[in-house]
């Protein structure tokens, strides 16, 4: 009977998760039975876990930006009444493009309250753990212990849990990324449980560089009582973003008195002024009028799932636009305010952001002219947008081939590349005939220009379309 109940719950939650499509949540494709055994087919994600990623100390801003993505995934799940119950760095994947996905919403390893209590008591009686020893990757008892380090107190004792338990686990994971240690410790499993239930934090490392305001945000999420934590993930994420924004917008110093006051004051203007205007720069790709056009096009198809698709598309594009604006301000401030990077590096990263803007604009253009095929593929098109985080990879950007020296040729190459983006999105929406026509057009344009990188890109895109059409011989030409 317990096995039947567990299987029914597995199917119920897997099906609910399959209806959740979000850039920061692993996609469930299929749920079924084979030889009386349940299975869940999920998206294959290549990358490293956040546990491995944060084994190397990272700047606090980088930690927050990465965990904001994971937090958005949790928030999306909570909006669908799904509670993860086992959030930890090992259940998040950071792919090679910088996108974080939350995995394993309790579908693979789930313990009910009585099982958890029994395992925990067994662990407390038999297992002693040195403070610094990793808890993940242990055996049967370790299945509980590996999770225990991030569990909310109410979950440890098998009491009913809600989204606030996930919030606790999220903040425990972020705390570990920020400080290089978990917030609670004990020499034995029972001692660790006692520390959790009493809210007894380990001493925060000195000279960590973590702002006190950020520390306060995270510690609130680690409150012993659920009602003392943030009311939901969204306010917590807003607070984390607020810390990042406010640190960028700090005054460089007080007013300078005397002759030259105006010039000195201008030099000390907040970062948000020095590096403002990012939203205006993005407006030709994504703004309110464009949003309304895309909504009208998608909903106007009359498909039964059009409204739900639009909600997912809107959230995905809004998130992407927010990441772009945030990154634009960050790249600018790193050079113009904090002098942490050279103007040459800033230019490389800004050029990358301009390419991301072009890709976003083309995606919006395609969706604003949506048909049934495009609506069917709309969510995949949005989640497949190149990661904004690629603009942080300075080494890769430095190896990118420079544009042509001739200004006229460079302009024509830029226009042709925008057409290639159109071909890529048409390929993603399954409109292969149209995509092939555009790719072939760019091949014809590239040949007389004499700029080899453009010709290579166009031939590669043409081959990609042929491959989608299963025309493999032509794809190899």
Could you tell me which of 375, 358, 385, 365 has the C-alpha nearest to residue 430?
375
Asked if residues 445 and 412 have their Cβ atoms less than 8 Å apart, the reply is yes
Q: What's the CA gap between 245 and 145, in Å, rounded?
A: 37
Select from 36, 30, 16, 165 the least CA-distant residue to 79: 16
Rounded to whole angstroms, the Cα distance separating 381 from 471 reads 23
How wide is the angle at C-alpha 96 spanned by C-alphas 93 and 102, nearest 5°? 20
Sign of CA dihedral 258, 264, 268, 272: positive
Are 370 and 301 spatial neighbours (Cβ–Cβ below 8 Å)? yes
Do residues 45 and 26 touch, judged by C-beta distance below 8 A? yes
CB atoms within 10 A of CB 156: 19
Tokens of 280: 């205006």
The structure tokens 């009913």 sit at: 160
Output the DSSP codes for 57-118: ---HHHHHHHHHHHHHHHHHHHHTT---S---GGGEEEETTS-EEE--SSSSS---HHHHHH
Phi, psi of 288 (to 5 degrees): -65, -45
Which residues are catalytically annotated? 86
Report which DSSP code applies to 241.
H
Order across the sheet with 92-95: list the strands.
47-49, 92-95, 100-102
Cα separation, 431 vs 427, in Å, equals: 6
The DSSP code for 389 is G
C-alpha pair distances (Å), 170 with each of 27, 29, 366: 20, 25, 36
**CA dihedral sign of residues 40, 46, 49, 52:** positive
**Which pair of structure tokens corresponds to residue 441?**
């057009």
Q: How far apart are CA 305 and CA 74, in angstroms?
A: 23
Residues facing residue 47 across a β-bridge: 95
């Amino acid at each position: 009977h317990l096995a039947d109940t567990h299987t029914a719950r597995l199917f119920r939650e897997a099906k609910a998760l399959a209806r959740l499509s979000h850039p920061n949540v692993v996609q469930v494709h299929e749920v079924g039975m084979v030889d009386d055994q349940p299975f869940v087919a999920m998206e294959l994600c290549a990358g490293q876990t956040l546990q491995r990623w944060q084994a190397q100390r990272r700047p606090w801003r980088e930690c927050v930006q990465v965990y904001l993505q994971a937090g958005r995934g949790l928030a999306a799940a909570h909006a669908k009444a799904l509670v993860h119950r086992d959030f930890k760095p090992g259940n998040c994947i950071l792919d090679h493009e910088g996108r974080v996905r939350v995995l394993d919403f309790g579908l693979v390893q789930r313990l009910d309250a009585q099982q958890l209590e029994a395992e925990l008591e067994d662990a407390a009686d038999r297992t002693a753990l040195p403070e610094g020893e990793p808890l993940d990757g242990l055996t049967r008892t370790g299945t509980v212990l590996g999770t225990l380090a991030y569990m909310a107190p109410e979950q440890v004792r098998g009491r009913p849990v809600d989204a606030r338990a996930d919030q606790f686990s999220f903040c425990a994971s972020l705390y570990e990324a920020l400080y290089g240690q978990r917030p609670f410790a004990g020499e034995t499993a029972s001692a660790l449980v006692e520390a959790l239930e009493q809210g007894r934090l380990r001493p925060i490392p000195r000279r960590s560089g973590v702002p006190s305001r950020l520390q306060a945000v995270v510690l609130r999420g680690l409150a012993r009582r659920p009602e003392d934590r943030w009311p939901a993930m969204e306010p917590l994420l807003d607070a984390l973003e607020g810390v990042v924004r406010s640190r960028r917008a700090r005054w460089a110093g007080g007013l300078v008195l005397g002759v030259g006051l105006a010039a000195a004051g201008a030099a000390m203007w907040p970062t948000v002024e020095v590096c403002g205007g990012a939203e205006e720069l993005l407006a030709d790709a994504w703004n309110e009028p464009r949003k309304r056009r895309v909504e009208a096009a998608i909903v106007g198809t009359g498909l039964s799932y059009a409204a739900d698709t639009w909600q997912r598309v809107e959230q995905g594009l809004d998130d992407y636009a927010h990441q772009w604006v945030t990154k634009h301000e960050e790249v600018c401030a790193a050079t113009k305010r904090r002098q942490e990077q050279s103007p040459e590096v800033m230019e490389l990263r800004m050029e990358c952001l301009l390419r991301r803007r072009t890709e976003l604009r083309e995606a919006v253009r395609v969706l604003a002219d949506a048909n049934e095929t495009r609506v069917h593929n709309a969510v995949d098109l949005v989640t497949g947008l190149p990661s904004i985080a690629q603009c942080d990879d300075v080494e890769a950007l430095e190896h990118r081939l420079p544009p042509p020296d001739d200004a006229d040729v460079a302009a024509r190459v830029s226009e042709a590349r925008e057409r290639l983006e159109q071909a890529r999105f048409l390929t993603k929406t399954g409109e292969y005939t149209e995509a092939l026509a555009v790719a072939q057009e760019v091949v014809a344009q590239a040949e007389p220009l004499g700029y080899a990188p453009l010709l290579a890109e166009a031939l590669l895109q043409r081959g990609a379309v042929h491959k989608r059409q299963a025309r493999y011989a032509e794809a190899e030409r």
